[in-house]
């Protein structure tokens, strides 16, 4: 009598760690480049957090959400870059299954949080432009905290279920992941069992935490565009466009790369492209966010200038 396939898979599940192949050419150059990028991400986003907290002129809902986004970006990048830099330095490419599960959980959790946080920022802009007379009443501090807290907690149960489903699978080898972090598609490709339930869970998560927030953002900007186009041409319309352009740029970059990676059909040729695109939303966008929000925002630039001038004045006088 043939043995139970599930028992056979369990007996073959000897993989205790994965090998993150990542980027192994020009390791020294890549380490220096990623170290500079990581420090720039921490510095740029950290400055936004500090300045928007320090300046009373920026105590508005828009900057509360921007501060939350910058803090999120620092956490998001810290999930992948330190491990990747450690691999480049040591040459040790292994990651244990528990560490892989932890890394994947935080990537999924923080990625879903960013989707909802970007949707909350779009809702904030909708209220400010379409319903300005009710803006401060509706967007109270309690509502702001609720939206940010909700963005962080709404996906938590699903991510725990997702990680449980993935890492309860048997992995029989090979154990090499052609990626620089533990992402769902390359990890699932190593499982030696039927993946119907896992694929269903991935598609469900994509709909709940990618598509729905994106649709809410599109709906918000549809109303915003209609309201702006009804405004008389002049400073009011220009300011409205200006307050939305930075957020739209970030949304386009983040959702554009994430949707290509997670929603397109997987082929053998898509692995390398996914690895490059993952760099965009895990590294490049967090690096560009401070530039996008400061170069296109006069209030943040003015506040940053005042903050740096004050610190320099304090340094000179205490020196």
Over the stretch 289-312, which tens digit does the pLDDT of each residue have? 888 887 767 788 888 888 878 755
Residue 267, phi-psi category: left (phi > 0), alpha (psi -120 to 50), beta (remainder) = beta
Identify the pLDDT of residue 156: 93
Most confident region among 11-15, 56-60, 123-127, 284-288 by mean pLDDT: 123-127
Distance of CA 12 to the CA centre of its chain: 35
> What DSSP designation does 180 have?
S
Give the pLDDT of residue 234.
66
pLDDT at 5 exceeding the cut of 50: no
More confident residue, 280 or 97: 97
- The answer to which of 76-90, 163-177, 236-250 has the lowest mean pLDDT is 236-250
All domains of the chain, ordered by start, with CATH?
15-300 (1.20.1070.10)
How far, in Å, CA of 168 to CA of 99, rounded? 14
Per the confidence metrics, is the pTM higher than 0.75?
yes
Average pLDDT over residues 258-264: 72
């Amino acid at each position: 009598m043939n043995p139970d396939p599930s028992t056979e898979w369990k007996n073959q599940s000897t993989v205790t760690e994965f090998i993150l192949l990542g980027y192994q050419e020009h390791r020294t150059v890549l380490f220096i480049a990623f170290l500079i990028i990581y420090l720039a991400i921490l510095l740029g986003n950290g400055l936004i957090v500090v300045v928007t907290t320090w300046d009373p002129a920026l105590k508005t809902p828009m900057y509360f959400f921007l501060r939350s986004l910058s803090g999120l970006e620092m956490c998001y990048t810290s999930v992948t870059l330190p491990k990747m830099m450690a691999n480049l330095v040591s040459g040790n490419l292994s990651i244990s299954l528990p560490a892989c599960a932890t890394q994947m959980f935080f990537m999924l959790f923080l990625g879903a949080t960013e989707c909802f946080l970007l949707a909350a920022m779009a809702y904030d802009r909708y209220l400010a432009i379409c319903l300005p007379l009710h803006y401060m009443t509706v967007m109270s501090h309690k509502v702001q905290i609720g939206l940010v807290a909700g963005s962080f907690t709404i996906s938590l149960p699903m991510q725990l279920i997702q990680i449980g489903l993935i890492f309860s699978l048997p992995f029989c080898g090979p154990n090499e992941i052609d990626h620089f972090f533990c992402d769902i598609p390359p990890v699932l490709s190593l499982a030696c069992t039927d993946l119907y339930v896992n694929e269903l869970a991935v598609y469900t998560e994509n709909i709940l935490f990618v598509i729905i927030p994106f649709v809410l953002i599109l709906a918000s900007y549809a109303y915003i565009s209609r309201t702006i186009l009804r405004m008389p041409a002049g400073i009011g319309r220009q300011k409205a466009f200006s307050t939305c352009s930075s957020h739209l740029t970030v949304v386009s970059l983040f959702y554009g790369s994430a949707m290509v990676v997670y929603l397109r059909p997987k082929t053998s040729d898509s692995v390398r492209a996914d690895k490059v695109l993952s760099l965009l939303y895990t590294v490049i966008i967090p690096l560009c966010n401070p530039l996008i929000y400061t170069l296109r925002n006069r209030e943040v630039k003015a506040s940053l200038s005042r903050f740096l001038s004050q610190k320099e004045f304090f340094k000179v006088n205490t020196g």
